[in-house]
A and B are shown apart, each in its own frame.
Chain A
Amino acid sequence: MPESHESYSSHKSHKSKGTNVTHATDETRTASRLNDEMLSSMRPPTRRWFLLAFCLGAVVAWGMFAFSWQLTHGMYVTGKNRPVMWGFYITGFVFWVGMSHSGTLVSAILRLSQANWRRPILRAAEAMTVFSISVAGLFPIVHLGRNWIFYYMIPYPNQRGLWPNFRSALLWDMTAITTYLIGSILFLYIGMLPDLAIVRDRSHGLRGKIYAILAMGWRGSAREWVIYHKASTLMAALIIPVAVSVHSIVAWDFAVTVVPGWHSTIFPPYFVIGAILSGVAAVITLMIIIRRAFHLQEYLTPRHFDNMGKILLVISLLWSYAYFVEVQTTWYAHEPIEWEVFSFMADRYTIPLLLMLAGNSLLPIVTMCFRRLRRSIGVMLVVSLLVNVGMFIERFLIIVPSLSHKNMPFIWGTYRPSWVEISVNLAALAGFALLYTLFAKLFPIVGVTDVRELEAQKVVVPRGRARLPSLAGEE
């Protein structure tokens, strides 16, 4: 059996160093306590939970009002104009697609590389993918001039006798996002099956029935476990190329155009790196929130933050390199119109630009170099939040300055987001948080089986008089 000295609580690690004899029985006795702790998020909602859900719901309702305002009045309620025909909505779209990369990619890579410390954060990361991609998918519809006929873009046999245009990057987008959404839901669901069975066994009545359906008759037989492991490993391997392709395709929305500043071959890898950067940062933020909200200090230890910090450092270095390459190739070639875009960006958006460079590059690289800072929850919270602020700015600075100063100087313009666009973006954030809050209440947010599988690997099982190391979870 692989020597894994991982531990999720100082309490437990102390025990495992103690007498092995008592360990197994101790383990069975604490099993239900473990389940209790890890499923603590699913306890009946408190008043504070309702208050939180209400506040988030109110923001979502406000965003829906703003959107209906736009629906009934017209696109003029946004800040868009000619030439800046895309603005905050597409910024939000790219941002949320980026956020969705955390989950699946982080969790899939860690699953495949068998990094054991991943276990308590898997579920949180995977759920985040599903919700952020759902939120992202709404933006392209919100941003349409005639939202009510968005289905014209869906390929199905229709009375118009017309397929959508498969040469359009927007259609590639839609295909990629739908694939990713379905893939990540499957990934989340398959990973959750044994946990759903645990929840099923612990709940009664209607809830029990619903979980029974969701658990698809999971009994925990050896054969089921083998299939489960195969399926989740396979899904992890399959989802990585999908995740990479999704953000490449989002980058193609820009890269395949003739807009100066967009038309760049570095965009696909640069976008993927940016996506992972914002995703990793978002996972860190979520870990901190979940840890605090559900008292999971024993399962999400500084060790996890340390490791996530290392990933953040690497990705931040990569991002900085990609950004450097993007700017310096333009600067070196000095094509007038492309350079004009960059000069305009630096001139008009100086403060956001500096904030972005600080948040995405300087701050994470400097702080994440130090083990002590990586293990400090406060530092991690600030850094991870600033990374995502920086990433939002980055998307904005990619989209708007390029459109503002296109090839015809006579039609140069500026853009200022309106209250409608800001409201919809805030509602997207609140909606994401609301979906997440509901999910945490209804489903196990910490992968119970994932964590316990590891515990089981350490357990010594009594077989008659002999004491044998357990083989559970070994493949």
Chain B
Amino acid sequence: MTTVKVESAMQKQTSPYKWGMVIDLDRCTGCGACVVACQAENNVPICEKHEIAEGRDMHWLRIERFWVGEYPDVRVRFLPVLCQHCHDAPCEPVCPVYASYHNPDGLNGQVYNRCVGTRYCGNNCPYAVRVFNFYRHEWPKPLDNQLSPDITVRSRGVMEKCTFCIQRIRRAKEDAKGEGRMIRDGEVQPACAQTCPTDALVFGNMADPDSRVARLARSPRRFQFLEHLGTHPSVHYLKGGGREHA
């Protein structure tokens, strides 16, 4: 049985898990299913048109679309961008109240009820994946029935972002603990990876060298976003080998 040992509160916690994700850009079709799945899973508010026009959309996961090439030989490239769960995250040290913190599994946690809304983390995130509750979002009836009870509904004035569906990870951990084993590879998946029809998003334990995600991350096509900043993200991308790169 492997559980997190906590001998004293001051001791640094360790974990056998290092959650990570591999996104194969060759497989991504830009369908946006992951965006919708994320929204449904994580109580992400539905934004009005003007909110999105103001740059205040609340998506935890976005598909960036780029046009490549000159007409008529134009291709479109898609880039799913979510919180990179950096191991040296710029958002963490700048938070004055520890709302943004690092958990032993290598995730960037966000504690909503600690957040005072300085938005410093949002400024310092080079990937611009942190979203701020500018509005008090409401779920008109009967939409409120779809809210997940596993997750806080965030109030206005706090930051939020992708958590790798931490509620699913927690549940899987409890299940595994009950059976006295480690979480199996592929047992836990965030909503986006689960929904992806082309299997472009793969999630798993990077600390296990035999996991699917760790094997994929050894691909020569692997790269990371803004690697030169030294943030050491947990999300790895596999370079698209489209025509323009051929």
Contacts and interface: CB of A to CB of B under 8 A. Distances in A.
A413 B131 CA distance: 14
Interface residues of B, number: 46
Contact of B226 (A403, A407, A413): A407
14 contacts: A83-B128, A85-B122, A143-B118, A145-B118, A145-B157, A147-B157, A152-B116, A164-B98, A168-B94, A407-B127, A407-B229, A408-B64, A408-B127, A410-B81
A403 B158 CA distance: 19
Interface in A391-442: 403, 406-408, 410-411, 413
A357 B96 CA distance: 35
B128 A82 contact: yes
Contact of B95 (A84, A168, A408, A413): A168
Nearest to A258: B90
Contacts of A80: 119, 132, 134
Contact of A85 (B79, B132, B136): B132
Nearest to B66: A410
B117 interface: yes
Contacts of B135: 74, 76
Nearest to A75: B134
Contact of B114 (A162, A169, A170): A162
Given A82-B128, A257-B90, A408-B81, A146 B157 contact: yes
A86 interface: yes
Nearest to A153: B96
Contacts of A153: 96-97, 116
Interface string B146-182: 0000000001111100000000000000000000000
B156 A75 contact: yes
A200 B96 CA distance: 45
Contact of A170 (B51, B56, B118, B122): B118
A171 B95 CA distance: 9
Contacts of B136: 74
Contacts of B223: none
A49 interface: no
Nearest to B127: A408
A335 B25 CA distance: 27
Given A76-B51, A258-B231, 17 more contacts: A75-B134, A76-B56, A80-B119, A80-B132, A82-B130, A82-B132, A86-B123, A144-B157, A145-B157, A145-B158, A146-B158, A153-B97, A164-B97, A259-B126, A407-B127, A408-B128, A411-B128
B124 A259 contact: yes
Contacts of A403: 123
Interface string B59-101: 0001011100000000000010100000000100111111000
Indicate the member of A85, A160, A162 with the most B CB atoms within 10 Å.
A85
B128 A165 contact: no
Where chain B touches its partner, the secondary structure class is loop
A57 B12 CA distance: 53
A16 interface: no
Contact of A257 (B79, B94, B115, B156): B94
B55 A81 contact: yes
Contact of A86 (B79, B96, B119): B119
Interface of A is mostly: loop
Contacts of B133: 74-75, 145
A174 B116 CA distance: 15
B209 to A, nearest CB: 30
A266 B84 CA distance: 30
A434 to B, nearest CB: 28
Given A75-B156, A144-B157, A168 B116 contact: no
A366 interface: no
Interface of A: 74-76, 80-86, 140, 143-147, 149-150, 152-153, 160, 162, 164-165, 167-171, 174, 253, 256-259, 403, 406-408, 410-411, 413
B96 A81 contact: no
Contacts of B7: none
A408 B96 contact: no
Contact of B123 (A76, A144, A259): A259
A164 B229 CA distance: 26
Nearest to A83: B128
B54 interface: yes
A169 B91 CA distance: 12
Contacts of A257: 90, 94, 123-124
A392 B6 CA distance: 51
A81 B114 CA distance: 21
Contacts of A406: 126, 128
Contact of B116 (A74, A75, A149): A149
A190 B125 CA distance: 45
Closest 5 CB pairs of A and B: A145-B117, A145-B157, A81-B55, A85-B119, A411-B128
Contacts of A84: 55
Given A153-B96, A164-B98, A168-B94, A144 B118 contact: yes
Contacts of A413: 55
B158 A170 contact: no
B120 interface: yes
Contacts of A410: 62, 64-66, 79, 81
A151 to B, nearest CB: 9
